[in-house]
Amino acid sequence: MNTNLEDLVSMEQFLDNPNVVLQKVDKNGQAVILYKNSPAYVISKPNFIASAISANKTNLKLHEAMEIVLKDAPTNTMHATDLADEIYKRGLYFKKNGTKAEYTQISARANKYRDWFENVGGNQIKLIKEI
């Protein structure tokens, strides 16, 4: 999801005048509320989220996204939950409803592509495909 400077709002602004922030959401599709100079909350219109996901949609399959992330991981291994989080964070793969893949889906895909991945125990997924 892309954020413009116009979308940024301090926590104080939000608490003092929430209507101004909601007007910003109506105008820009979203507002990012900052707390201690870091993004803390995002308020957005539902159709804005759907269009942002569509705009950022990749043609990657889940196992391809897993490969990309695991190539960057130490020892090419990650816990399935962390792998799902990183894939979502990078915008490499979304489920049809725009949510992230669950760790169980990551584990199942690793089991399906045994020539690419190995479940090394404790929900740890290791990339074994030739890099």
Task: Report the predicted TM-score, pTM, of the whole model to 2 decimal places.
Answer: 0.58
Same domain, 79 and 40: no
Sheet holding 124-127, edge to edge: 77-79, 124-127, 117-119
Tens-digit pLDDT profile for residues 49-87: 445 555 555 678 999 999 999 999 989 999 999 999 999
Q: Which amino acid is at 3?
A: T
* Cβ atoms of residues 76 and 125 within 8 Å: no
Question: What is the distance between the alpha carbons of residues 34 and 27, in angstroms, rounded to a whole number?
Answer: 19
Same domain, 19 and 75: no
Domain match, 71 and 111 both: yes
Q: How far is CA 127 from the centre of its chain?
A: 21
Q: Is the pLDDT of residue 111 over 90?
A: yes
Which residue segment(s) compose the domain that 11 sits in?
Answer: 5-54
CATH number for the domain that contains residue 48: 3.40.1620.10
Residue 31 sits in the same domain as residue 82: no
Are residue 67 and residue 50 in the same domain, yes or no?
A: no
If asked whether residues 65 and 94 sit together in one domain, one would say yes
Q: Which of 10, 15, 6 is nearest to 38 (CA)?
A: 10
46 and 64 co-located in one domain: no
